[in-house]
Structure 1
Amino acid sequence: MTAGAIAGFVGLVPSSTSTGVTSLAQQTRWAGAWTTAAQRATGAAGLSLDPTYFEPNWSEKGFADQTVRQVVRVTAGGTQVRIQLSNQYGGRPLHIASATIARSSAGAAVQSQSMRVLRFDGARTVTIPRGGRASSDAVPLRVRAGEHLTVSMYLSGPTGPATFHYYALATSYRSSGDHASDRQATAFTARSHSWYYLVGVDVRGAGVMSQTVVAFGDSITDGAFSTVDLDNRYPDVLADLLGRGRHAVAVVNEGIFGNRLLNDSRCFGNSALSRFHRDVLDRPEVGTLIVLEGINDIWMSDANGFSCLEPNPTVSAEQMIAAYRALIDGAHRRGIRVIGATLLPYGGFASYSHRGEAVRQVLNSWIRDTHTFDAVIDFDAVVRDPAHPDRMLPTFDSGDHLHPNDRGYEVMAEAAFSVLSRGPQR
């Protein structure tokens, strides 16, 4: 199927016409090229209880007279870029004393000639109120889909606990003092695998796709247990597959490790229902939404002894179906196509139960058979073991029997690409 046909299904229209002429309105339209979902600060007290899943991060202590340098991979190209910053969970105003963006080099180094100073309403500094967000001004920088960009921010005063994204699966760097404009990596001696304050990179310019695919979900969308710094999450691989045609299709990741449909968690973010407006409906130019949420609602109902899971009431299939319907209805009111994804098998996982498996089967049947979603990606079918349908094939299993490995994420992306390639199914 041609890239244009795929773009037609996912609600995307290339900025350039067949004649190569691009209107001014099309050139000034922003598209999301990279995102992550914001979470409240959670550190050693909450997350280090299980080192299999969690490691220390900088969010609880925050920053003071330090530069944080973060590397992200964009899934759309353009000629101008801007960044999105969030202080949603901050306890005080957040002051950014200086910020830059550049093409990434090795580690914390950047490509020297690509360094751009970021401004906010013309100023080199910005103070983001508690609970607020800020967009930088546009800067000229030609970027390609699949390219890595490095964003550096100097935080001169004490920030207090930081709004962040825990499970980045990418290396971030920290230095003492102001090194936001450094081209070299020398000053950046501390490392973390989380992102801080940075929640979006947008692009615009001739040839930019006018709309974006949002992958919305939990740790499986977040890419848990994929290889750090290799961008093997299923949305990354899907973006690569969609980008093989003439026009790249932007795919952005709004997954949160441990996230649930119905209940908030101090460690695993606001529920899908409560963050849906922020992470999907408020995104620029969303055309298609892929929903993969619910397995944590199921198994966490059977887990105890970990405060991050609370509250963890027993959740029924009917309650979860009502939540799916709410997401679908909200997206449809905005003209967004919604693709439902079946829940992956979790047999052998520490909190597996026969009750939970029965709920999963009911949900997957509803997702497949009711045609409530605009289309369905049957992730369950492509990763399960035919001899043991409640389990993942060992070839695709990361080892905990809940999360796929790199190859598992690849076959998920291939399944998603296949659905997009078939066109509308309703």
Structure 2
Amino acid sequence: MMSVFPTYNRFPLTIQSGEGTVVTDDNNKQYLDFVSGIAVCNLGHRPPAVEQAIQEQLGKVWHVSNLYQIPIQEDAAELLTGPTDLDYVFFCNSGAESNEAAIKLARKHTKKDKIITFKQSFHGRTFATMSATGQEKVHEGFGELLPTFEYLPYNDTEAVAQVNDQKVAAIMVEVIQGEGGVVKGTEQFLQAIQEKCKELGALLIIDEVQTGIGRTGQPFAYQLHNLDPDIVTSAKGLGSGFPVGAMLGKAELAETFNAGSHGSTFGGNPLASAAVKATLQTIFSDQFLQDVQEKGVYFHQQLQKKLLTLSGVKEVRGQGLIIGIEIDEDAIGFIHKLRENGLLAVLAGPRVIRLLPPLNVTREEIDEAISILQKVLEYEKVNLK
């Protein structure tokens, strides 16, 4: 790694291959992957239908400019908006880019420039999305941020009610804060945000980069609530590991994002669109989503039954197959021990173990993961002091 900037604290692990929920390292040791590239490989590693779709597209054309018609991009957009009340899609390459597009669209459409987000949120690492992110550690060292963002406490309905600024272009929120600790927004809080947007003539932007594409058992997490967003952002699980992002918006926003107002060289190119189309054809089926819901309920019930009795485990929370286990001390040591025992997990803040298995994980794999978690949290705790 001598020629790569040290922007990541990498684990001592090199994954050589993966299939489904299982990955194999360069020593031929296998692991259950409950990170999934941080909610990216929603169909596991190398899902056959997506692999075949990309291979077929490789034999046709890889990339053309968005100056030309791209029929497979239209197919992907139709699938993406199909289960929503949103009408148009702008394709890009990442979650940060989709949130950047949302910020630009909201400001241009409303002709206002202030955007409200929430403490402990995470929206990306471009300059605008870093400024939108309500975490000091993301801001450190970059000087003065964009001044048009205001952070309110998450799940604080009263703080939302007190907003009375007619310069607010949008309120941007995660229905579940992933990087912020796997914290669910309450129904009252989310409804208060929606009502405040209507009151101020502001747009409601929901960041579904981590929670979308079936992660909660719905196409998008906001559909668990009676919400009617103007803009929804997506990425991560959208392309099964192929880099792609998307911003979805209502029909009345189309004239604002007219020709020349925004763009992306690679966004929604034929390869990316092939990955998106094949991914959504699988995940957005009613039976697949029903299975995710049922496995999510089972996983939560078993975790609560077997972990909450352990010393130091404070809470199990989340929705569907995004799960956070809060403990009473720094969790990084447990992340290492889980890996040593064959289970890959990731942090969500210093004291939360986050689990993001592929959506097609089996119950047997869930049981195996719980067994490893139970072993590490029960028997290894004393050795991590």
**TM-score (normalizing by structure 1):** 0.23
Which structure is higher in RCO with an 8 Å CA cutoff and minimum separation 6? 2
Select the structure that is richer in helix.
2
Normalised by the length of structure 2, the TM-score is 0.25
